[in-house]
Amino acid sequence: MLVFMTAACQPGEEQRNNGVDQSRDFTEVAVDLESPWDIEHDEGSFFISEREGTIALVVDGQVERQSVETEREITQVGEGGLLGLKLHPDFSSNQQAYAYHTYEDGGRTMNRVVVLEYEGGRWIEQESLLEEIPGSNFHNGGRIAIGPDEKLYVTTGDAQEESLAQDQNSLAGKILRLELDGDIPEDNPEETSYMYSYGHRNPQGMTWNNDGEMFASEHGPTNHDEINLIEPGQNYGWPDIVGDDSKEGMQQPLFQTGNNTWAPSGITVYEDSIFVAALTGRALYSLDMDGQNSETEAEGFGRVRDVVEVDGSLYFITNNTDGRGNPEEQDDQLVMFRP
């Protein structure tokens, strides 16, 4: 591993790998990732989904790129591809994980949630839990998480059809909640629906604090990106309200970026803060649990896609090789720092 100290820049100058706090040191854990999307960790190993349809295994700084074999071909189109990845709680014994990926069927772009099993250095689909989630070149959502209640949560985008976010019969523009075997939980807001919350544009991050409160990040239209406090059955307003707009029966965000653009993706809670990976913002930000006091924790790495906490350190991935960033040599990277 290469450990480097952040260096000061002249005013107005952006230096790659330059953190805001000049006393911090950052560690390159792995380099040469390919459009990474989601970070998972297990007993010293990192499993990182890559949009083109592979999973990068990172052990001691070395990257082994592993194939993913699914019943429906993974389609890497626009922002789609192999997106969310979540190891099963019993991964050490069953070697299984949940994945979210884009596919095409009959000329339509859609997304699905599947169970993968790790066998002999490759990942093989075991079963499909949910099919025909509306997809598009953009706004596919894609994050997968397991909540404190041991349920599977999935974010979906509006698939560039804004009205779907308000359509409670559509899987688009929602946060979905499933049993780990794919069944609909009996205590969902609607007993026959996977829908947990709705009115979302393109949510790409989920996390919980120690009190069990759930937070989600969401891309706004050009600006007004959001961090929301998620409550079951609630409507988060898209496309009827944005930013600090209000409308009866719709929830306002815990935090919104105003005229600034973050394009927030993965988020995680560490101690008393929510850490937010930002793509267009090209930084890692933090907020208080009440959505106040936003701070820049790291910048100069380019687009930041996901962040996780492992044993008191934060790990984030850059996402500069997806056609929207400005990749430098050995991009993309997995980086560690201590908040």
Active site residues: 139
Please tell me the distance from the alpha carbon of residue 216 to that of residue 204, in angstroms, as a whole number.
7
Give the neighbor-by-neighbor strand order of the sheet with 2-5: 2-5, 25-30, 334-337, 313-318, 304-310
The answer to whether the CB of 210 falls within 8 A of the CB of 145 is no
Element (H, E) at 94: helix 91-94
Q: How would you class 327 by CB atoms within 10 Å of its CB: exposed for 0-12, middle for 13-18, buried for 19 or more?
A: middle
Please tell me the distance from the alpha carbon of residue 240 to that of residue 136, in angstroms, as a whole number.
21
Please tell me the distance from the alpha carbon of residue 61 to that of residue 47, in angstroms, as a whole number.
12
Provide the β-strand partners of residue 295.
Answer: 286
3-state SS class at 234: coil
Angle at 114 between CA 110 and CA 115, to 5 degrees: 170
Give the neighbor-by-neighbor strand order of the sheet with 283-288: 264-270, 273-278, 283-288, 295-299
